Amino acid sequence: MPRKTVLKLTGVDRHYGQGDTVLSILKGANFELNSGEVVALVAPSGTGKSTLLHLAGLLEHPDAGEIYINGEPSNGLPDERRTAIRRTDIGFVYQFHHLLPEFSALENIMMPQMIAGLPKKEAAERAAQLLDYMRIGHRAGHRPAELSGGEQQRVAIARAVANAPLLLLADEPTGNLDPETASYVFEALEALVRQSGLAALIATHNHDLADRMDRRVTIEGGKIREF
């Protein structure tokens, strides 16, 4: 199956005001991410990893340049369209799982599907399939507080891909886990990406995990550079 460009940044600038000064995070940044590709974003704290993920996820607007999602330029889109793209085409995984504590693992994965309009029965079936794929189907009825850290993060990953997005953005998804659990969770995440053919950009400080991805990029002087 031919790969297609899912995420593309061209000439992207992003800066923030700090008093009388302007802090430039990205300056004319260019980047492409293709379907079926897992790319590690490895850079020191404060260089703009989270900013890049927020821009790619349409949570922020660039100050210049353009961001394309599946070939569609996003900057001039109304908020309703940007929200729709985030809901259907982009999945997010964070360092902390952000699961809803009052709902079970299964219900947490059903939630985004039902918001997108899928009937409850179909949402439950897909949620159960994803939990089985992540090898925690036996924990479907448990609430987040009853799950281990690795189990919580696998539920969060399953929730992120529940609506079959084109793009997965992950910000230190194994940062709170011990090395053995981190490796296990990443293995499940990578298998899911390969099986579904989505594109994944994963920010991580874990160089062992970064070495297992297709390529590594960093942020230097406001530019996105490949290792």
Give pLDDT tens digits for 11-28: 999 998 777 788 888 999
155: in domain: no
Distance CA 33, CA 31 (A): 7
pLDDT level of residue 65 (50, 70, 90 thresholds): very high
pLDDT level of residue 48 (50, 70, 90 thresholds): confident
pLDDT(217) > 90: yes
Report field, pTM of the whole predicted structure over 0.85: yes
Containing structural domain, residue 186? 5-98+163-226
pLDDT level of residue 227 (50, 70, 90 thresholds): confident
* 54: its two tokens: 């927020």
In the prediction, which pLDDT does 169 show?
Answer: 94
Instruction: Answer whether 35's CB lies under 8 Å from 194's CB.
Output: no
In the prediction, which pLDDT does 135 show?
Answer: 83
57: in domain: yes
Domains held by the chain: number: 1
190: in domain: yes
137: in domain: no
Task: Pick the closest to residue 57 from 40, 37, 24, 33 (CA basis).
Answer: 33
- Rounded alpha-carbon distances, angstroms, from residue 9 to 14, 26, 61, 105, 165: 12, 11, 12, 35, 18
pLDDT level of residue 9 (50, 70, 90 thresholds): very high
Give me the torsion for CA of 159, 160, 165, 169, rounded to 10°: -170
In the prediction, which pLDDT does 1 show?
Answer: 53
196: amino acid identity, one letter: S
37: in domain: yes
114: in domain: no
CB-CB neighbours of 38 under 10 Å: 21
In the prediction, which pLDDT does 68 show?
Answer: 95
In the prediction, which pLDDT does 6 show?
Answer: 94
43: in domain: yes
Give me the torsion for CA of 32, 35, 155, 50, rounded to 10°: 0
52: in domain: yes
Extended beta strands in 35-108, E state: 38-41, 64-69, 72-73, 90-93
In the prediction, which pLDDT does 2 show?
Answer: 65
pLDDT one-digit tens code per residue, 89-140: 998 887 776 888 999 999 999 998 898 888 999 999 999 999 988 888 899 9
What CATH number is given to the structural domain containing 170? 3.40.50.300
Distance CA 86, CA 167 (A): 9
Task: Pick the closest to residue 5 from 32, 39, 38 (CA basis).
Answer: 32
Q: Once rounded to an integer, what is the mean pLDDT over residues 216-223?
A: 92
Residue 129, by phi and psi: left (phi above 0), alpha (psi -120 to 50) or beta? alpha
pLDDT one-digit tens code per residue, 159-211: 988 888 999 999 887 777 788 878 887 888 888 888 888 999 999 888 888 89
Length of the chain as a residue count: 227
Distance CA 155, CA 81 (A): 27
